Amino acid sequence: MEKIIIFDTTLRDGEQSPGASLNNKEKLEIAKQLETLGVDVIEAGFPASSPGDFESVKAIAKTIKKAIVCGLARAVKSDIDAAYRAVRPAKNPRIHVFLATSKIHMKYKLKKAKSEILKTAVWAVKYAKRKVKDVEFSPEDASRTDKRFLYEVVEAVIDAGATTVNIPDTVGYATPYEFGELIKGIKMNVPNMHKAVISIHCHNDLGLGVSNSLAAILNGARQAECTINGLGERAGNASLEEIVMAIATRGDILNFKTKIKTKEIYKTSRLVSKLTGIPVQPNKAIVGANAFAHEAGIHQDGLLKERTTYEIMKPQHVGFEETKLVLGKHSGRHALKARLKKMGYTLTDKEVGKAFVRFKKLADKKKQIFDEDLAAIVEDEIGTTPEVYKLVSFYILSGNKVTPSATVTLKHEGRNLIASSTGDGPVDACYKAVEKIAFIKPKLLSYNLSAVTAGEDALGEVSIRIKIKKHEVNGRGASTDVVEASLKAYLNALNKFKVLNAK
């Protein structure tokens, strides 16, 4: 298995994402994590672009010992000098020189002819080579460059001393087949190509950055330039985690290896997201919050029987703790039973069925069900207290300029009983309606309302204590509607008293 060199440019191209500016301390922290991750080359920045970038590259060069530390430079003497001064302290320094070669760049940006571009490229590589042994050259916008001219430039810079030649799809214009063919063409038409490593740097403007990178690797590229979370100019770069895990997962097609410690991927992703302030989209491949989360009942059932039915990677391989079975309205009974068992509840099939009905009703109101919600459901629905009085429905009228009123329907001994009442508030009105039905008037000793989970759709839990005659009993109820939760708590306490009094 041939090794693919992983060249991380998060600190250079990734930082060019709008709003992703990092200070020196943050860059150094990311660089250390990249070294822990196992990247081969860290492109630490563009030293000539600002004094701050120069200092951060220099600090990284002094700190990093295992990875190659690279500085970017235009094909300009002052840029190359700055890059050299910045990376010089590194144990393994590299200077990365770039110069545009496409017709559109030569005509409008550089205003130079092919002969001038070729001469400048050769000079820049030779000049950088006098300073460091490891020189990389990039013909910017290579995917839109005339192929014959591209072959000529690549051959010339290798003769000048370039040890790596990077072929950038600078504006994400290429498609996988043509980009793969471009790399194959370079291998076949550049006679001295064996003296240097072919690298690729793919942007994601058409969403093809990773696909183009993999196509290039299959056709001879042996260095992949990429970023954590796919950060970069415009739509970003090819994502490091996606390239690495594609190679790790599809060894049947991609018979290569990398030095990346995949268990550090999620940690690295989180660090970069935190420090840049750019969140990772939930459905992002490999590192998104939903990458190993399943809500659909069919998927959950398959996973519980055999993980590989719906997962091609183990979450632990990239640093996640475990697969998440997200309980929501699409989830099935099997997933609910498994979660309840994991929480420590041993229920009969009948009890699971009862909890499942309540779970589905709650799932229609909430986007996601949390363990705390399930605990409340189990305690509410699978309790040992018989339902002498069961809530069927309630209707309230309330406002700051009306007297709160409530109409409550309870089922008792197979019949629906209805009563209406007014009160100081909607809960008080409901309680008084219940008292009319049950012919009882308890004293409310305490009433506590709390949110079981966070968010606007949180499950509310009400705990009460009432006194009837000489007996004090507790009651609790839970619902996304606090009035309903209050009613359930009141009925729970009332039913406990009825059972107790019957004995």
Least confidently predicted of 25-29, 46-50, 331-335, 420-424:
331-335
Strand runs (DSSP E) across 414-470, as ranges?
415-422, 443-451, 460-468
Of 91-105, 385-399, 455-469, where does the model show the most confidence? 91-105
- Average pLDDT of the segment spanning 401-430: 95
- Average pLDDT of the segment spanning 69-98: 98
Which helix H or strand E contains 298, and what residues bound it? helix 297-305
3-class state of residue 5 by DSSP: strand
Q: Does position 397 have pLDDT exceeding 80, yes or no?
A: yes
What Å distances lie between residue 63 and 6, 33, 58, 88, 180, CA to CA? 19, 12, 9, 12, 37
Predicted confidence (pLDDT) per residue in 254-296, tens digit? 999 999 999 999 899 989 988 888 888 888 999 887 776 655 5
Tokens of 420: 């209406």
Q: Does position 499 have pLDDT exceeding 80, yes or no?
A: no
Q: Does position 321 have pLDDT exceeding 70, yes or no?
A: no
pLDDT at 67: 98
Return the DSSP state at 175.
-
Mean model confidence pLDDT for the chain: 89
Distance from C-alpha of 429 to C-alpha of 393, rounded to nearest angstrom: 14
In the chain, count of helices (H) and strands (E)?
A: 16, 18
Least confidently predicted of 10-19, 203-212, 345-354, 416-425:
345-354
Distance from C-alpha of 222 to C-alpha of 183, rounded to nearest angstrom: 11
Q: Does position 467 have pLDDT exceeding 70, yes or no?
A: yes
Least confidently predicted of 11-25, 54-68, 369-383:
369-383
Q: Which domains does the chain have, with CATH numbers?
A: 2-252 (3.20.20.70), 293-381 (no CATH), 390-502 (3.30.160.270)
At 447, phi and psi to the nearest 5?
A: -145, 120
pLDDT at 371: 64
pLDDT at 484: 93
pLDDT at 218: 98
Higher local confidence (pLDDT), 279 or 102: 102
With beta carbons less than 8 A apart as the criterion, state whether 67 and 41 touch: yes
Return the DSSP state at 279.
P
Q: Model pTM?
A: 0.71
Strands 443-451 and 460-468: antiparallel
Name which of 5, 2, 45, 14 is nearest 268 in CA terms: 14
pLDDT at 475: 80
Predicted confidence (pLDDT) per residue in 431-461, tens digit? 999 999 999 999 999 898 987 666 666 778 8
Q: Does position 306 have pLDDT exceeding 80, yes or no?
A: no
What Å distances lie between residue 153 and 98, 111, 198, 405, CA to CA? 12, 17, 13, 85
